Structure 1
Amino acid sequence: MGLVAVPRALTTITRVEAIPYSVPYRVPGRFASGAVERADNVLVRVHSADGLVGQAEAQPRPYTYGETQATIVAAVRHRLGPALEGLDPLATELIEARCGGMPGDRVARGAIDLAVWDLVGQLLGQPCALLLGGYAGEVSVAHMVSFGEPSAMAEEALAMRSRHGIRTFKVKVGRDVDTDVAAVTAVREALPEAELYVDANRGWAYDAALRAGEAFADLGVAAIEEPLALEDRRGRTRLADRWLVPLVGDESCISLAHVARELDDGAVGMVSVKVARTGFTESRRILGLCLGRSVPAVVGSQYEGGVGALATVAFASAFAATARRPAEATNFLDLADDLLAEPPTVVDGRMAPRPAPGLGIEIDEDRLEHYRIDR
């Protein structure tokens, strides 16, 4: 007997919105490659003919991808959005092909993909976390500690442990090595049982990275992320060979092709997967490549707000390979406010995806009106 098609109401994408907004940080993010004083993000909305709306946020990182808030808005309004009008939202591979063929606009394309998946979940009446794989009902989370005086960085980590039960911290490094070691030492002494790893955001030269790695090994650091400039592929390979802890690829692993290259080089021993830049569609492919190469993956953060955190946790909880490691999903706590009517919660160091269809995003329209900057 042949397969029987299950009928469903046909709908199409009618338009795609890009709404720029700016929310201040309570704790600004500072790191070797840049800084964020405000969340100058873009809310992306994908509208369907039956009135449902998929939503996601794009976080510009001009010092990493070259995209600004203005270029993301332009890309969505004038190139990506029109390319999707009239398509079935469930045709995620077709949508990926329409967007994937456009050069650049990496974060804009990632947000489009996430918003489409949010819409798909609503159309099917299922949470994205379940549609992606549904492995775990919740995941442990890691918090990123930005540049500051070592004592202040330790105090921030202690506060996150006390208020939210967080036990894993990614400490930003990439300054001079002595300052970096002092910062990690301060956090380690404040939280002796915490899991620590560090992120240099390409801030060191090779000799400094080598010295820092040896010091961090003595402090029990679990991994070291992006120690060198992107063009120093040989340097990453040499460090990866020497270090006993994994060298994590982030900015060097911004697409499936980049990850394949870094793995072929032997330059990374762990990959940071960020749904903010590769959506759910390409992120699944990257995770599959990592599994095929027996390389662990961590679900990383781009300093998302609450909207982005919901997408991060949905992906992290969906797969065994990601649910077993803390996901970087808590930096919405550093914002002074948020667009969500009900922000995510962190309980005993863990977060759960929303059980509602899609990503469970409910925007407080009054807050959006207050923070949007295109009026």
Structure 2
Amino acid sequence: MKIERIETIPYSIPYTKPLAFASGEVTDAEHVLVRIHTDEGLTGVADIPPRPYTYGETQDSVLAIINKVFAPAIVGLDPLERGKIHRILARTVHNQTARGGLDIALWDIIGKAASIPVSALLGGYATEMNVSHMLGFKPAPELLDEALRVRSEYGITTFKLKVGRKPLILDIEACHTLRDGLGPDIDLYLDANRGWTANEAFEVLRRTETVGLSLLEEPCDAKEAMSRRRLVDKSPIPIVGDESVPTAGDVSRELLSGGCNAVSIKTARSGFTEAQQILGLCTGLGVDVVMGNQIDTQIGTLATVAFGAAHEATSRRAGELSNYLDMSDDLLADPIVIRDGKILVPQVPGLGVEIANEKLERYRQDK
């Protein structure tokens, strides 16, 4: 089997509301659908979410790096030769989501060729994954209303609150409001997207110590090295690395230097192959992991579910899988269902991604 061609399709789907957080705001999912076609008729599919404020990639840069650099170098290779393909892709630095998307599409082909779900190939630990729902920047009463609705409608009992606002009291009040309104059994954790300094994060932790938070993600820029190490050392809850740990090398640096003591794994930026390397580092060192979200579509969510359900360590915590609920539409022909706070792994060969072609034609931007 050989890679015959790589197809990249830019598309844009509006969100039902702007999603705001400390490092940026998105109003539309301006993504790239990538399809790797083989000479045996099998096609691997993945969704690539460029995030210029996080990784420096844009929709145009993803298209350019795949079409002009990656595709010419790997067309003609066997998709099973992942090691050789990754050596070629690694010659180009950065471009995390472009490389991650190609890797996921390769795994989709392998699963289809073997007639096995990708999640089973990756580890097959579970057939479902618990869902965590992200709450963006809103007044505290509105955040509580959303959380109550999501819990009632989908059975979700884990919430990630985006923080990093100024003044700090906005986020502090939101934490207390959510805990008071949702009760003691809800898992609540924070993500500041580098919006605070380490000392500001200390202040928030001090003023929310009765809330029962479980994690604090990327509280400040990892370049604030000394204060961040002090925060990690003194914090009563794990400090999660996210933007600071996009690669396995970054993970090892931050863990060994004390820059974080938990890690967010995002398949959109690492693919499955490097995500396995990251998970191996974390489990070997006894470090907690959480499956993160790149404001993914349903296609990207299926990839996260496949990887998260495949391993025991990534199944311990609810994965961030519900951002697609804020999209006005999607490209999947068979939409994802969240029931009792869980998403099931599709029991079909590959990842289970079937594109609704009429929707792709409606939203694609290269016509």
Instruction: State the match for 1:255 in structure 2.
Output: 247
**What residue identity is the alignment partner of 1:201?**
N
Q: Which runs of 5+ in 2 are unaligned?
A: none
Q: d(CA) in 1 for partners of 2:309 and 2:226? A: 34
Q: d(CA) in 2 for partners of 1:93 and 1:82? A: 17
Instruction: State the match for 2:292 in structure 1.
Output: 300
Contact 2:222 2:259 in 1 (8 A): no
Instruction: State the match for 1:125 in structure 2.
Output: 115
Contact 1:17 1:76 in 2 (8 A): no
Superposition map of 1:94-243 within 5 A: 94-176=84-166, 177-192=168-183, 193-243=185-235
Q: d(CA) in 2 for partners of 1:50 and 1:264? A: 45
Q: d(CA) in 2 for partners of 1:101 and 1:151? A: 49
**What residue identity is the alignment partner of 2:171?**
D
Q: d(CA) in 2 for partners of 1:14 and 1:246? A: 46
Q: Which moved more, 1:179-188 or 1:41-50?
A: 179-188
Alpha-carbon offset, residue 190 of structure 1 = 2.0
Q: d(CA) in 1 for partners of 2:93 and 2:258? A: 27
Alpha-carbon offset, residue 82 of structure 1 = 1.6
Deviation digits for residues 304-352 of structure 1, max 9, x if unmatched?
A: 0000000000000000111121111111111110000111111100111
Alpha-carbon offset, residue 244 of structure 1 = 0.9
Alpha-carbon offset, residue 50 of structure 1 = 1.1
Deviation digits for residues 129-163 of structure 1, max 9, x if unmatched?
A: 00000000111110111111111111111111111
Correspondent of 2:321 among 314, 329, 333: 329
Alpha-carbon offset, residue 282 of structure 1 = 0.2
1:90 paired to 2:80: yes
Instruction: State the match for 2:310 in structure 1.
Output: 318
1:16 paired to 2:27: no
Deviation digits for residues 191-231 of structure 1, max 9, x if unmatched?
A: 11210000000000222111011223321110100011231
Deviation digits for residues 240-295 of structure 1, max 9, x if unmatched?
A: 11111000000111100100000111221110000000000000000000011110
TM-score when normalising by structure 1: 0.96
Instruction: State the match for 1:4 in structure 2.
Output: none
Instruction: State the match for 1:371 in structure 2.
Output: 363
Q: Secondary structure at the match of 1:279?
A: helix
Instruction: State the match for 1:77 in structure 2.
Output: 67
Contact 1:18 1:43 in 2 (8 A): yes
Correspondent of 2:15 among 13, 25, 29: 25
Alpha-carbon offset, residue 182 of structure 1 = 1.2
**What residue identity is the alignment partner of 1:373?**
Q
Deviation digits for residues 102-128 of structure 1, max 9, x if unmatched?
A: 112111000010011111111111100
Contact 1:15 1:82 in 2 (8 A): no
**What residue identity is the alignment partner of 2:169?**
D
Contact 2:127 2:309 in 1 (8 A): yes
Q: d(CA) in 2 for partners of 1:234 and 1:254? A: 21
Contact 1:217 1:245 in 2 (8 A): no
Q: d(CA) in 2 for partners of 1:123 and 1:104? A: 30
Q: Secondary structure at the match of 2:9?
A: strand
Q: d(CA) in 2 for partners of 1:93 and 1:151? A: 50
1:64 paired to 2:15: no
Q: Which moved more, 1:167-176 or 1:74-83?
A: 74-83
Q: Secondary structure at the match of 1:76?
A: helix
Correspondent of 2:352 among 360, 363, 368: 360
Count of equivalent residues: 365
Alpha-carbon offset, residue 28 of structure 1 = 2.5
Q: d(CA) in 1 for partners of 2:131 and 2:63? A: 30
Q: Secondary structure at the match of 1:217?
A: coil
Deviation digits for residues 5-53 of structure 1, max 9, x if unmatched?
A: xxxxxx1001111111000111332100001101011101100001111
Instruction: State the match for 1:272 in structure 2.
Output: 264
Contact 2:199 2:227 in 1 (8 A): no
Q: Secondary structure at the match of 2:37?
A: strand
TM-score when normalising by structure 2: 0.98
1:54 paired to 2:44: yes
Q: Secondary structure at the match of 1:175?
A: coil
Q: d(CA) in 2 for partners of 1:181 and 1:217? A: 10
Q: d(CA) in 2 for partners of 1:223 and 1:19? A: 37
Identical counterparts, % of pairs: 45
